[in-house]
């Protein structure tokens, strides 16, 4: 069975894919195991990514960026990071590019853009976004981190957790309450920068997977932040977050299918070579049926997600379409990787086999960026009207 030919990408996207894949193969893959052991990627790798033009693709050219609004380049990067199995080492790049930078590009005034964007393109300034708190996950309206204005500064107090790029980051978009009495209307976005007094990083969290991706706790104790670091309007932070979540969830769907395809490719190769009872494992009827099912589901998912990318590029992707893509593909990812690990037998449990690492790296997908349950709630509200 031949895969359905994809029509999403043009020649320029495939040329970019080739360049980015070559860089990953030469600069990231050989060191991935060390980064996994270290629990973090070195800042030198960020500088290298910047020097090759892999950071800030959507940043205007006047600030050193790529100046493109074509999301398909970001999708290519997400796919290649997932295909190569270096999600822990390179997922921070995609978060920096596709989740953090849209806030800076869309909300910064000219002074803020000139101050922050060039460094975020070069890799000298690493971005992060801090929404989740120890007692507040998806319920953003009830965050407790506060920012109280005193003249030309905000005094920020509170804490955040599970923050990707939390250790490496230099510019962190923090969701805060500027009006503690309001719910959604009381949320604002403020950029806290490395070196500010009272801004402390906790431990680099020890996770099930994605070990090379630094994920940290952040603590704020009477941090004095200039009002000039406010992103957008005070009290409008929640609405800005909602606008950008669709792209975040779409990116996770793109990556999920790439992981599925990589797992299938590895498993097909393994089951052709591995023999049991005198024949290749892949020739047993149960295994053939299972592989047929998984392959079909991945292809079906690919058609839907490619269409979502097209809609996003046209500015037409809805919140519920992105939520549907996110929960369906990430649930599929966990299914595919788990079944593929099973087909590897005992070797699937060994970390020297990519499928074992993929299993550990994949489990978070149905949790972060909005749990599958929250995604179903978004879709359910949209289709039922309540």
Q: Which residues are catalytic?
A: 248
CA atoms within 13 A on the CB side of 321: 14
Residue 36: name the closest of 341, 354, 339, 270 by CA: 354
Measure the CA–CA gap between 299 and 119, rounded to whole angstroms: 39
Mark out the alpha helices in the chain (DSSP H runs).
11-23, 32-38, 43-51, 71-83, 87-95, 101-107, 110-122, 237-273, 285-313, 319-343, 354-362, 372-384
Q: Is 212 exposed, middle or buried (0-12, 13-18, 19+ CB in 10 A)?
A: buried
Measure the CA–CA gap between 301 and 372, rounded to whole angstroms: 16
Q: Is the dihedral of CA 187, 237, 241, 145 positive or negative?
A: negative
Q: Is there a contact between 82 and 258 (Cβ–Cβ < 8 Å)?
A: yes
Strands 230-231 and 215-226, by their bridges, are unpaired
CA distances from 150 to 144, 145, 147, 177, 226 (A): 19, 16, 10, 15, 10
Other C-beta atoms closer than 10 Å to the C-beta of 62 total 11
Burial string for 78-96 (b: 16+ CB within 10 Å, else e) reads bbbbbbbbbbbbbbbbbbb
Q: Is there a contact between 77 and 94 (Cβ–Cβ < 8 Å)?
A: yes
Phi, psi of 216 (to 5 degrees): -130, 165
Other C-beta atoms closer than 10 Å to the C-beta of 326 total 31
Q: Structure tokens of 352?
A: 């020297």
């Amino acid at each position: 069975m031949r895969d359905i030919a994809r029509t999403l990408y043009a020649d320029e996207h495939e040329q970019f894919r080739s360049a980015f894949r070559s860089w990953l193969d030469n600069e990231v893959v050989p060191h991935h195991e060390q980064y996994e052991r270290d629990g973090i990627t070195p800042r030198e790798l960020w500088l290298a990514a910047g020097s090759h033009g892999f950071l800030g693709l959507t940043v205007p050219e006047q600030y050193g960026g790529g100046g493109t609004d074509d999301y398909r380049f970001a999708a290519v990067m997400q796919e290649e990071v997932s295909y190569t199995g270096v999600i822990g080492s390179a997922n921070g790049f995609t978060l920096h590019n596709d989740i953090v930078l849209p806030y800076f590009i869309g909300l910064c005034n000219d002074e803020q853009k000139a101050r922050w964007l060039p460094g975020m393109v070069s890799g000298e300034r690493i971005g992060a976004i801090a929404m989740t708190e120890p007692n507040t996950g998806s319920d953003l309206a009830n965050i407790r981190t506060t920012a109280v204005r005193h003249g030309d500064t905000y005094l920020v107090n509170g804490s955040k957790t599970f923050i990707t790029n939390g250790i490496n980051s230099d510019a962190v978009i923090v969701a805060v309450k500027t009006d503690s009495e309001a719910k959604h209307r009381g949320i604002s976005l403020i950029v806290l920068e490395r070196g500010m007094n009272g801004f402390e990083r906790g431990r680099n969290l020890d996770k099930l997977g994605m070990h090379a991706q630094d994920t940290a706790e952040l603590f704020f104790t009477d941090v004095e932040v200039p009002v000039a670091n406010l992103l957008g309007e005070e009290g409008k932070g929640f609405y800005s977050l909602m606008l950008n979540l669709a792209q975040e969830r779409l990116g996770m769907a793109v990556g999920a299918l790439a992981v599925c395809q990589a797992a299938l490719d590895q498993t097909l190769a393994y089951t052709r070579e591995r023999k049991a009872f005198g024949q290749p494992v892949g020739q047993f009827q149960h295994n053939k049926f299972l592989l047929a099912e998984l392959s079909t589901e991945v292809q079906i998912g690919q058609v839907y997600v490619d269409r979502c990318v097209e809609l996003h590029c046209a500015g037409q992707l809805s919140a519920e379409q992105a939520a549907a893509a996110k929960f369906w593909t990430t649930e599929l990812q966990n299914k595919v990787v788990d079944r593929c690990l099973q087909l590897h037998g005992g070797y699937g449990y060994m970390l020297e086999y990519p499928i074992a690492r993929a299993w550990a790296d994949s489990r978070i997908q149905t949790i972060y960026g909005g749990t599958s349950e929250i995604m179903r709630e978004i879709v359910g509200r949209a289709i039922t009207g309540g």
